[in-house]
Chain A
């Protein structure tokens, strides 16, 4: 039998378990402090005690909502503390918006909402947040770089600074993006040439 845990008895997982994009502003239809999840991708198999498929899905989505609320609070607190006035960016100013983005890391204790302890990295851009939930032993430098890269692609390709709804209708582009940069939740050590080649593939995807 192999060891599943390291010597201290901690789980040794080192992967990303989900990526989501959600609101960090108030949405009329939602209660205060809630967040609207616009895109989510859980890299299965996940640790889910339910056996019935419908209930499994429900639990998964509720965990994500819980997570989005946590991040929303964190982004809000961080924003307040920084005290800087938010500059509204428009389409084409993605680089400015990303440059002003708030970044933070949060520890999720076991049970809140995942069964084991996890780390969330978040990037708050304007009224949206991009969140990456990692296992505790993940390489956070690599995770942060990946998160920023994913956010930049999403901002540009889904025109998130514009008024449209591409994020809902063209979410397959995010799937294709994750397929390359975060396949099955695996963070990749990509140098600029690997990135360039993946970017090229991705732009071929987009142009079809």
Chain B
């Protein structure tokens, strides 16, 4: 594996001195000049040169004579392949560019032209650069009959060219290639390619009887040649068949556009079909083994090239789907069958989009395919293009697609959540069809608990996708449950881990539990029937099935040992991000009722969270941000949720366990508990909040020498003081009580335990705040103005900022008051 030796070799190559390098160039030039057969020394030197030119990100410039020599040798005939590869690689990686010289030299040799093209393509910087290569490739294609040989890579090169510059081909050239593609796709020989059999010494080379190619299961090929046909060797046309199928999707996507000349291919008249069955039989198919595809093939002889290609590509895909039913002898061919189904269904989808009349021909085949493979989990990934096909065309064909989506959203995420490629493809499918799924497939939104399984298992890879998907999963009906599910995401990760382990290790194999007794005990619990309901809730496939929030603590306890596992921690890290996405979107449709529910969830869940390092602290920060936003949107939720808020703000324990959220809730009470926001805000309500908070303030600021120093930050105190002052200004009977409390606070702030843990500035801040508020409350009408809640819709920034709003207003007032100090008793 990667060793220090490799590193130091790389270092040498990178740090080679110019003088030495020039000498090396000279030596190689000499070797290339004198040596006609390129021995080991030349190869060795070229390999070193290749390393030197590719080792750094800065380009090396070859001496022009060396560059010319390399170019010349690359395009001329009859060098061993290794030499060509090395020339090509060195030229690709170095300067000056060879593109002008090489484009002209492409023609010389078929075998090397792919390596030459590789250099040219890597140096292309503008669309004009590719024209000569393109022309050369087209010429190759046309001239094939006379020459008898074609560069195997003509099609891959052409594909690369058209993806760089689709307009490079003229209409005629597109037609030419289309015709060629039809030939290669549909009319490749079904006999095995000629093998070089030299025969025995006496008999000389003998010609063998043609042997037909076989299907992947060993049976004689039932119809025209495809990539799923097997032979001992392949002829050129069969190789081209393979290259043609490999690029046909790209070709159709680029050039198979609507509005081309001619009629619709799938709508041939019966006479045309009859005619064509006679005419179109160019393939050398033995009539006894004709499969359904050729037998039902509609004619296309009369069609313009593009439509004809569409027809033939369709037939090819149809045949592939048929062939994929065969049981392959080789395992690699089974894998190829799957890849072929994906490609075939995707191509059919493209064709049906361009010409909807194909839908009726395609559906029976796709439907039968679905019926065949839907039960097999090994074919899960293949189902995604099928689902896409259903999504695009089932309506037109009046086919029910419900069952396909049920398979996709119910079974796969539950059973295959740990398959990274399936997860990726399914998520990309959702992303690509977000609008249709959201409104057209009810199961999609319903299945969010299942879809979250992919995310929980593989959060770092999928987080950016889920940030896009989450809004599409949200609706007024599911919002609350989604919020719970997001908060439970790390639990889900832990549970999935248990589920997988539980399936892997049977009870008798306890010895094998490599993670020690900790996970073993969690596994034990996972299997206990009494916990079954709880785990089933976390693993539920669809929304709305059960709610065990009151037993969540129990689950957290059981899973506590897994909180430190890397997978759970990775998952916990994405939760805050998703919560931001959730709340930023929920405000778009949340009414008063939903806002109330969400606020309640935040308050409840603040003490019901999985205990993971930093997770809670991060979440309280997110909760604080969004509970503020919710209140701003619907200020009357303070009155609606007064009981819960009272409980929350009245509990001293919350200061210690969730300080940030607590401070924010207290601030919200001061800000929004006012008749200005809700006429139900009675004096009694204000008083009960006041008393509750006053009790908290009293409790945490008791001066006892024996008491331990306060373990909360000073801004908790100042926020409490300010909120109390705000409430007192709205119910002025409370002012004397508060003044008394504030004066006690000054004593508290000067006490030893406080000075021991707060800085002098902090203590000073508390005292100043107490003085300012006391002074302010001496003028109740001024206090009422200063401490009034912001008017709705007001946008002044300081009103939103806890740290600046009040002091700023107060400084202004204080200045005013100081100027007329006779108003103040002192």
Whether a CB of chain A sits under 8 angstroms from the CB of B153 is yes
Do residues B159 and A175 form an inter-chain contact, with CB atoms below 8 A? no
Whether a CB of chain A sits under 8 angstroms from the CB of B5 is yes
- Bound-state CA distance A168–B216 (Å) is 39
What chain B residues lie within 8 Å of A126 (beta carbons)? Answer: 1
Do residues B227 and A191 form an inter-chain contact, with CB atoms below 8 A? yes
Do residues A38 and B339 form an inter-chain contact, with CB atoms below 8 A? no
Interchain Cβ contacts within 8 Å, total number: 269
Do residues A45 and B421 form an inter-chain contact, with CB atoms below 8 A? no
Which residue of chain B has its CB nearest to the CB of A28? B7
Do residues A186 and B254 form an inter-chain contact, with CB atoms below 8 A? no
- Bound-state CA distance A197–B220 (Å) is 20
Do residues B124 and A44 form an inter-chain contact, with CB atoms below 8 A? yes
Whether a CB of chain B sits under 8 angstroms from the CB of A1 is yes
Whether a CB of chain A sits under 8 angstroms from the CB of B775 is no
- B contacts with A: majority SS: helix
Whether a CB of chain B sits under 8 angstroms from the CB of A99 is no
Segment with Cβ contacts to A, from B329-337, B590-598, B673-681: B329-337
What chain B residues lie within 8 Å of A53 (beta carbons)? Answer: 59, 95-97, 123, 125
Whether a CB of chain A sits under 8 angstroms from the CB of B150 is no
Whether a CB of chain B sits under 8 angstroms from the CB of A156 is no
Do residues B6 and A38 form an inter-chain contact, with CB atoms below 8 A? yes
Segment with Cβ contacts to A, from B340-348, B357-365, B799-807: B340-348
Do residues B343 and A160 form an inter-chain contact, with CB atoms below 8 A? no
CB distance from A191 to the nearest CB of B (A): 5
Segment with Cβ contacts to A, from B244-252, B549-557, B739-747: B244-252
Do residues A2 and B255 form an inter-chain contact, with CB atoms below 8 A? yes
* CB within 8 Å of B: which A82-99 residues: 82-83
Do residues B47 and A172 form an inter-chain contact, with CB atoms below 8 A? yes
Do residues B340 and A184 form an inter-chain contact, with CB atoms below 8 A? no
Whether a CB of chain A sits under 8 angstroms from the CB of B428 is yes
Do residues B515 and A83 form an inter-chain contact, with CB atoms below 8 A? yes
Whether a CB of chain A sits under 8 angstroms from the CB of B233 is yes
- Bound-state CA distance A6–B257 (Å) is 10
Do residues B228 and A191 form an inter-chain contact, with CB atoms below 8 A? yes
Q: Contacts A57-B57, A205-B81: A14 and B51 contacting too (C-beta < 8 A)? A: no
What chain A residues lie within 8 Å of B123 (beta carbons)? Answer: 44, 53
Do residues A1 and B121 form an inter-chain contact, with CB atoms below 8 A? no
Whether a CB of chain B sits under 8 angstroms from the CB of A104 is yes
Do residues A179 and B124 form an inter-chain contact, with CB atoms below 8 A? no
The 8 Å CB contact of A193, one of B2, B234, B342, B432, is B234
CB distance from A1 to the nearest CB of B (A): 6
Do residues A29 and B250 form an inter-chain contact, with CB atoms below 8 A? no
CB distance from A135 to the nearest CB of B (A): 8
Do residues A38 and B242 form an inter-chain contact, with CB atoms below 8 A? no
- Bound-state CA distance A142–B320 (Å) is 15
Do residues A191 and B333 form an inter-chain contact, with CB atoms below 8 A? yes
Do residues A186 and B155 form an inter-chain contact, with CB atoms below 8 A? yes
Do residues A189 and B57 form an inter-chain contact, with CB atoms below 8 A? no
Do residues B421 and A140 form an inter-chain contact, with CB atoms below 8 A? yes
Whether a CB of chain B sits under 8 angstroms from the CB of A115 is no
Which residue of chain B has its CB nearest to the CB of A162? B1
Q: Contacts A81-B570, A168-B9, A184-B118: A189 and B250 contacting too (C-beta < 8 A)? A: no
Contact digits for A132-171, partner B, Cβ 8 Å, 1 yes 0 no: 0001110111101100000000000000110111011111
Interface centre among A4, A109, A135, A193 (most CB of B within 10 A): A193
Do residues A104 and B461 form an inter-chain contact, with CB atoms below 8 A? yes
- Bound-state CA distance A169–B5 (Å) is 12
Which residue of chain B has its CB nearest to the CB of A73? B460
- Bound-state CA distance A14–B159 (Å) is 9
Chain A residues engaging chain B, CB cutoff 8 angstroms? 1-4, 6-8, 12-15, 23, 25, 27-29, 36, 38, 40, 42-45, 48, 51, 53-54, 56-58, 61-62, 65, 73-74, 77-78, 80-83, 103-107, 109, 119, 121, 126-128, 135-137, 139-142, 144-145, 160-161, 163-165, 167-172, 175-176, 179, 183-195, 197, 205, 208
Chain B residues engaging chain A, CB cutoff 8 angstroms? 1-3, 5-7, 9-11, 13, 46-48, 50-51, 54-55, 57-59, 80-82, 85-86, 88-89, 95-97, 114-115, 117-118, 121-125, 129-130, 152-153, 155-157, 159-160, 163-164, 166-167, 174, 216, 227-234, 239, 242-243, 245-247, 249-250, 253-255, 257, 330, 332-333, 335-336, 338-340, 342-343, 346, 353, 381-382, 420-421, 424-425, 428, 432, 458, 460-461, 464-465, 515, 565-567, 570
| Inter-chain pairs besides A14-B249, A139-B346, A183-B157, 14 sampled, C-beta below 8 Å | A2-B174, A4-B254, A14-B250, A38-B10, A45-B160, A81-B566, A82-B567, A104-B458, A139-B249, A145-B339, A161-B1, A171-B47, A183-B152, A192-B332
